[in-house]
Amino acid sequence: MPAITRRECGKGLLGFAALGLSSDRSDAQERAIPPHGIGQRFRHLSYSDIGGRPDSVQVMLNRRHLYVGHMFSNGVTILDAADPRNLKPVGFFTGGDFTRTHHLQVSGDLLLLANGANIVAMQSYDNIRGYFEIVLD
């Protein structure tokens, strides 16, 4: 069995999801994603660089604020979403060094945050790309 990287595995999974879980691989490869995307009833409203932290994983909306969990930035970004066309970063808090905050839920005045180990930082990879290109056995 040939070795596969995490990146290749992720691309394959995303490809199946984007192509309607097609079981025929040749058919799936021929179908391209259209320029307007694959979502239905979605409309692009705005863009945010999330305060310079592009590694967002989960986003939750609560009381006109977006709470964004991060995989590699050691914390949570808070965006003011009162005007959805003009999102503004208004806060960031850390879960501590070598952590990732990739799962969160908000309700009322509560924020539930799963603070996990940042395995990329703990493994001392040269960069994030190194993590995704390691060969899996």
How sure is the predictor about 104, in pLDDT bands with cuts at 50, 70 and 90? very high
Maximum average pLDDT range among 3-7, 12-16, 43-47, 130-134:
43-47
Q: In this predicted structure, what is the pLDDT of residue 97? A: 83
Residues 126-131: contacts with CB under 8 Å, at least 24 apart: 128/55, 128/72, 131/6
Q: What is the pTM of this model?
A: 0.60
Residues ≥6 apart with Cβ < 8 Å to 13? none
